[in-house]
Each structure stands twice: as structure tokens, then as C-alpha cells.
Chains A and B, each alone.
Chain A
Amino acid sequence: MSYSVEIKQLDLSFGAVKVLRNLDLNINEGEFLVLLGSSGCGKSTLLNCIAGLLEVTDGQIFIKGKNVTWAEPSERGIGMVFQSYALYPQMTVKGNLSFGLKNARLPKDEIEARVARAAEILQIGPLLDRKPGALSGGQRQRVAIGRALVRDVDVFLFDEPLSNLDAKLRVDLRVELKRLHNQLKNTMIYVTHDQVEAMTLADRIAVMKGGAIMQLGSPDEIYNKPRNLYVADFIGSPSMNFLEGHLEAGVFKVDDMAMPMTGYEFAAPQTADRPAVIGIRPEHIVTGELVRNAPLQYHVDVDLVEPMGSDTLVYAKLGDHLFRIRMDGQATVKAGQTIEIGIDPSRASLFDKATEDRL
């Protein structure tokens, strides 16, 4: 099986600062891979290394089986879409699309044909003679993608292309991007710090931190089975509730509560008791009628209520611990009330307190 992009033991340092550490990553043909992480995690750096815009310190990069570690960006078979779209302001849309082809010294009629084909796919035919300044955000994105499309590249690289836009446009363009990927079926590598974008677009997500990949997996795996505390905390909004306690013979104990982890799939057979952290997503805590069916049931005191329209975020105290609970938008709880909640341990996540890895 051949990969579209292979990254082997990649290292990158700026002086004494290590930005990427011994990073391995294989990306499948036609895959939509999202590099997700907070700023400074090295995700954009990695993308720039793949593009050839940054020189690596050590390691190799293969694209379509060809070693491109030291190749020029234009020789790698990649196209790139930038955060600002980086359309050449003084050229028309047509000029933007054909600039790369002219640099490659393609014959004129070939350039015309390719531009026309890209314009048709992206439906920007009527815009070809306009300057980028006269385009809307969505049109600019399409031109930016078109610039990669005309060059017939294997891999599309996206560097946070939606983060400069307002919320509504961002959703529209996200949908359009997904549709485009379904249509073109190119390999796409997409950098973002927005987990919603990552969850909705990705075939697989690579969560990065400190120049290394914390977890690589499908959005479902990342969300439901975070491999360590960092990923668990980073993914999900509002973020996961954590309780520090002790795991003894398959029972998680915190203060005077005992939670038997019935139905929880341990990553490895448990041998020793140890200090542990349990993580429960606010949306996995049930209330009202559903409590009856939950394996674990508790009473909590409501501390604060934040109605958000579609749902309601309730801050409640379980013993000494403040919990976030996501309830239906029509919920009518009030601060000071005591309510019943239900928890299903099979949907929770357990982490070793020392290593922070999933148990």
C-alpha cells in the first residue's frame, strides 16, 4: 500500500528551540487529514515543511513515494491555500490561476485549457477578469483552491483557510470545502485550531502538541477515546469534567464515592491499582427521565445556569467538585436546586494520573 505523503522522523529546530520532534506521519491517498492543535504546537510548521517552505533539520518527506525533502516547493506536487488566501492583488483571477503554469513554461493553449477547466469545476468562470479585491470571501477561497487545482497537484495543503472569516461565512465555506473534497478526491492536509472544523472535515485528525502528534485517529476515536489527558481536555466544548481519584480493582474511587467501571473498555488489562483521573463529557451526563437507565446516579446542587438557546449549561456540585452538565435548551433548572444526574461509565475516559495516558 502506498501512501500519498510519508513523513519520517522529522526534526526541525530554530536555534535551540525544537519545533518538531522526531515526527512520523503517513497520509493515505485521497485522505482528508487535519492537523489540529493550539497555537505554537507546530502544526503550521509541519505543513510548511511538507510544502518545502521551511528547511527541515533532519528526517525525510516523501510525496507519492518520491523523496522531496530537499526539493523546491514547486517540484513537490503540492498546492497550498493560505489563511489570507494570498491572491496576487495586482493580477486578475485568470492571472492568479495561470501564474504557476507560466512559471512552469507550459504552452499557452494548455494554460488556457487548464484555467478553463478549473474555472468550470469551481464555478468562477464569470470572475476570471476581476481583481482579487473585487471578490467575496467565498470567491477568494475558490480562486485560491483553483490556483492549486490548475497545477494538477497530488496534495492540497490548507493553512487555516477559514480562521480569518466571520462565523457564518466560515460555516458556509466549510461545507463547500467538504463538497469539493468529495468531488476532487485529492489528498488534503488541513491545519486548524478549530475543533469543529477538524471534526466536520477530517477523515483523520492528528492532534498536535509541542511539536509531536498526541493522537492520530478518526474524529470519532479522538472524541470518544482520547488517548491522553491533553487530547481529552482539548477536544470538546464545553470541555470534559475531570475528577482525580483512585482506581482500585476496576472501581474508580473519589472521596467517599465509588464508581464501578462497568462496561468500560480498558486499553490494556488492568494489573495494578493506581491514582487515576476520570473524564466525563458534559453532554454524556443525563438528567430527568433518562437517569433511571444510567448505571450510576447522583444528586447534585445546581450552582449556576447558563442558558444558550439550543442547550443549557449547568454548573453543579457533586460533593466538593464543580461539574459542567449539558442539558436540553428547554431545561428549567435554577441555581440552588438539587437535581438528579446519571453517568454511564462506559462512555467515560480513565487516565493514569502519573503518565496521563488512557487506561
Chain B
Amino acid sequence: MSVVEQTGGQRAAKARKPMRLFRNPMAKIASIPMILTAMVVFVGGTLWTVVHSFTDSRLLPRLNWVGLDQYERLWDTPRWLISISNLALYGVCSLVLTLTIGFVLAALLDRKIRFESAFRTIFLYPFALSFVVTGIAWQWILNPDFGLQSLVQGWGWESFAFDPLNDPDTVMFGLLIAGIWQGSGLIMCIMLAGLRGIDEDIWKAARVDGIGTVKTYIRIIIPMMRPVFITALVLIASGIIKLYDLVVAQTNGGPGISSEVPAKYVIEYMFRAQNLGQGFAASTMMLVSVIIILIPWAYLEFGGKKNG
């Protein structure tokens, strides 16, 4: 009797095993916005742009293939070349300076000082401000007639000249001053968190071994903070590629086209010059450069972990 019942039960169990797709349906329904965003906007949108970069779309997108024409034209356009070299210059300087300033400030704040939180608040507040506000503020300070230059000249040093925003050769440094002002506080915060994460015994051991403070930082602490530096690096790098608002607000690409950047090139070709194909090709180049930066990082970060 009981045997019969049990086999019956087993058959019923097999029949009741739910289909994979319909198990915890709510979680799947709730994830629809995420899935749509990931697949439609991020994957779909990016592919769409890449595909259309091989067309001659102008005012409206259309699938009239022209091969690599848009890319050839792009790399023949002086404005794009200037944008790229500007971004490279800004990028390298911003990376080096932001990392250095961020780390030095964090190290200074980590010396068990008074008013630490006051200093930290001061270094970080610009990060709460938008690039538009940042750009306009520094545009005013660097104004040759009223700002820093006129102040120093007013002290009697008549020949003093500091007018980066109106000089094609130095305009990128004018942007750099503002960019670092805005972003270095964040890096300082990350570095400070990294420093706080280091075991205090390391410092004691270094002191027992008679290693000086600066030497301890360079030889022991910085190598230990490698993951923090990598995070900071990725953060700064992804910020640099997005560089747009600051330029629009502070120089609007001027004087002339001497402070143009790729992100601005893309927007202007898409929405003002009505040359969508150019915009798509330029944005695809931006994507390619991000991938080039990202792959070694991903390899270091995730490939290394698997091996170790």
C-alpha cells in the first residue's frame, strides 16, 4: 500500500517541478528595468552608434554605408587632432597632479593633526560643485583685467602676465587649475581611506627599524596602497574622457579652437553641425580609447586575482 502511495507521490513531485523561467517570477519582473537599461541602452545604444559611424548620416541617421570614410575625415580634421592632443596633455597632467596632490594632502592629514575634519571639508567641497560652476568661477579669477594678473600688476609688478585662458599655448593649463581644484579632494578622500586602512603596526615596525617618515611612505606605504592607486587612476581616467562641461563653461573651446576636447567635438557635430556620421565616428573613437585603458586595468585587477 504505502509503496504504491509513495511512487504516486514521486510522480506527482516530478510533475510539480516548476519550470526554470517561472521560478521566483517577481525577482525577474523587478529586474526588467535593469535588463532593459543594460541590453537596450548600454549594449544596444553603443552598437547602434558604432554601426552608424560607418554611414554618411547627416541631419538624420541612415544606413548608407561609406566604410571608413568618417574615420578618415575625422583624422584629417585639425579640430579633432587638437582635441585629442589637448585631452592627452590635460589627461597626463591631471593624472599626475591629482594623484600627487591627493596623496600628499592625505598623508599630511594622516599625521594626527588638529582640525583634520575642517581641512578635509575645505579640500573636498569643490567636488560638490558642478563643472559649470567651477569653470565660471575660475574664468573670473583668471580674468586678465580684474583677476590674478591685475592684482599682481597692481602690486607694482607691471610686466607680470598670467592670462592662460586667452593664450592658445597655455589655455589647457587654465582648465587644469580648475579641474584639479574640483577633483583632487575626492582623490584625497580615497587616499586617506587607504592610509587609514594600513595596519598601524607597519608604522611601528618602520620606526623600530629606523626608517624615516618620507622613506617609509615611498618604500612601504605607497606599494601597499597599490589597489587604492589603481582605483584612483581609473576614477580620474574615466573623468578625463568625459571632460566637457568644464570646457564649455570656462573657455567654450577658445581661444579659437585651442581648448577643444573630443566630447565637445562629438556633441557639436551631432547637434550643431548636423553631421551625425562624424559625431558617431568620434564617439566610437572615444569608446575605443576607453576600452584600451580599461582592458589592462581589468586584466590587472581580475586576471591577476585568478592567478594569485
Contacts and interface: CB of A to CB of B under 8 A. Distances in A.
Nearest to B23: A55
A70 B9 contact: no
A60 B16 contact: no
Nearest to B11: A67
Interface residues of A, number: 7
Given A69-B13, A70-B17, 12 more contacts: A8-B10, A60-B9, A60-B10, A62-B6, A66-B9, A67-B9, A67-B10, A67-B12, A67-B13, A67-B16, A69-B16, A70-B16
A70 B18 CA distance: 8
A8 B13 CA distance: 12
Interface in B6-57: 6, 9-10, 12-13, 16-18
A92 B9 CA distance: 41
16 contacts: A8-B10, A60-B9, A60-B13, A62-B6, A62-B9, A66-B9, A67-B9, A67-B12, A67-B13, A67-B16, A69-B13, A69-B16, A70-B13, A70-B16, A70-B17, A70-B18
Contacts of A69: 13, 16-17
A32 B256 CA distance: 85
Interface of chain B, main secondary structure: helix
Nearest to A55: B23
Interface string A68-110: 0110000000000000000000000000000000000000000
Tell me which of B10, B13, B17, B18 has the highest count of chain A C-beta atoms within 10 A of its own C-beta.
Answer: B13
A82 B296 CA distance: 44
Interface of A: 8, 60, 62, 66-67, 69-70
Interface in B118-165: none
A5 to B, nearest CB: 14
A64 to B, nearest CB: 12
For the complex of A and B, the 9 pairs showing the least CB-CB separation, nearest first, are: A67-B9, A67-B13, A69-B13, A70-B16, A70-B17, A60-B13, A60-B10, A70-B18, A67-B12
A66 B6 CA distance: 9
Contacts of A8: 10
A288 B192 CA distance: 67
Contacts of B6: 62
Contacts of B18: 70
Nearest to A9: B10
B224 to A, nearest CB: 31
A8 B10 CA distance: 10
A62 B10 CA distance: 10
B48 to A, nearest CB: 35
Contacts of A60: 9-10, 13
A66 B10 CA distance: 10
A70 B6 CA distance: 16
A66 B16 CA distance: 13
A121 B13 CA distance: 37
Contacts of B9: 60, 62, 66-67
Contacts of B12: 67
Contacts of A70: 13, 16-18
Contacts of A67: 9-10, 12-13, 16
Nearest to B15: A70
A217 B75 CA distance: 80
Contacts of A62: 6, 9
A8 B17 CA distance: 16
Contacts of B13: 60, 67, 69-70
A200 B141 CA distance: 80
Contacts of B17: 69-70
A66 B9 CA distance: 8
Interface string B72-103: 00000000000000000000000000000000
Nearest to B12: A67
A241 B9 CA distance: 48
A8 B16 CA distance: 17
Contacts of B16: 67, 69-70
Nearest to B18: A70
B252 to A, nearest CB: 52
Nearest to A56: B17
B180 to A, nearest CB: 44
